[in-house]
C-alpha cells in the first residue's frame, strides 16, 4: 500500500521563500525596464564626505565662479576655535593680513587661495553678521571680490570639506591668513560689539 508523501514544514518554508524571491526579482526587473523606457535613472546615494574644492582654472589657479558663489555669508561655530565667517555652503572664508584690494594675492597665490567673487546681485549676510560690513572691491585684474569689514575674502585649497579651517593662522610667502569673526576682525583678537545698520547712523 502506498501512502501519500507528507510535506514537512521545512520544505513548505523553502518553497514559500523561493516563490517570494522569484516574485521580488520579477518586480525589480520590471521596475528597471519601466525606468529605462521612461528615460529615468536611479541616483547614487549621497555621501557625507563630498569634496568641495573651488574649480581649477587655467594655469592651476583656483576660481570661485560667480555662478558657484553663495549669495550670502553666514556664521559658523563648528570646526574653528570660535565663531567665524563662512559662505552659505559652510565653507570657511579667510582674510590676508594687510590685503586691501586683492593685490597681495595674485599669480601663484591663486593656486592656493581662491577669491570669493560676488554672485549676481548684491551679496547679503545671515543673522549674526552685520550687513554694513559686507561689500566688494575691485581686484588688480578688474574682477570684483567680496569683502567683510574691508577684508577681501578667500577660500583655501586645503579645506576639502565644509567646516574645514586649515587655512587659519597659516603663514606662507604671501603673508598671514586668518578666519574672521562676525565683528570683522581676525579670529583670536579681542572683539567688540557687532556693528548694525542702526549703530552706523
Q: Do residues 144 and 104 share a domain?
A: yes
Residue 175: which region, alpha, beta or left (left: phi > 0; alpha: psi -120 to 50)? left
Q: Do residues 100 and 183 share a domain?
A: yes
Read off φ and ψ for residue 68, nearest 5 degrees.
Answer: -95, -15
Place of cell 576682525: 185
Q: Do residues 37 and 69 share a domain?
A: no
Q: Do residues 123 and 152 share a domain?
A: yes
pLDDT in tens, 14-38: 554 455 555 454 444 454 444 344 4
Q: Can you tell me the mean pLDDT for 138-152?
A: 93
* pLDDT for residue 32: 43
Q: Do residues 171 and 92 share a domain?
A: yes
Indicate the pLDDT class of residue 150, thresholds 50, 70 and 90. Answer: very high
Q: Do residues 183 and 112 share a domain?
A: yes
Total tally of structural domains belonging to the chain? 2
Cα–Cα distance between 71 and 53 in angstroms, integer?
18
Place of cell 523553502: 14
Look at residue 147 and tell me if it is in a domain.
yes
pLDDT in tens, 43-86: 332 222 333 445 555 445 555 444 345 567 999 987 777 899 99
Amino acid at each position: 500500500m502506498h501512502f501519500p508523501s507528507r510535506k514537512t514544514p521545512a520544505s513548505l518554508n523553502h518553497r514559500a521563500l523561493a516563490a517570494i524571491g522569484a516574485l521580488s526579482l520579477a518586480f525589480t526587473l520590471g521596475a528597471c525596464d519601466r525606468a529605462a523606457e521612461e528615460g529615468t535613472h536611479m541616483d547614487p546615494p549621497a555621501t557625507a564626505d563630498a569634496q568641495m574644492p573651488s574649480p581649477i582654472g587655467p594655469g592651476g589657479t583656483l576660481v570661485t565662479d560667480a555662478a558657484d558663489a553663495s549669495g550670502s555669508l553666514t556664521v559658523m561655530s563648528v570646526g574653528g576655535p570660535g565663531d567665524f565667517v563662512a559662505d552659505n555652503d559652510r565653507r570657511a572664508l579667510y582674510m590676508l593680513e594687510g590685503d586691501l584690494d586683492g593685490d597681495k594675492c595674485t599669480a601663484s597665490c591663486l593656486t592656493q587661495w581662491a577669491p570669493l567673487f560676488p554672485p549676481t546681485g548684491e551679496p547679503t549676510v545671515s543673522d549674526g553678521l552685520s550687513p554694513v560690513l559686507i561689500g566688494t572691491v575691485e581686484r588688480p585684474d578688474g574682477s570684483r571680490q567680496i569683502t567683510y569689514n574691508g577684508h577681501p575674502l578667500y577660500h583655501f585649497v586645503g579645506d576639502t570639506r565644509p567646516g574645514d579651517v586649515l587655512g587659519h593662522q597659516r603663514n606662507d610667502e604671501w603673508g598671514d591668513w586668518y578666519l574672521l569673526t562676525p565683528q570683522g576682525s581676525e579670529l583670536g583678537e579681542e572683539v567688540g560689539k557687532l556693528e548694525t545698520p542702526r549703530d552706523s547712523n
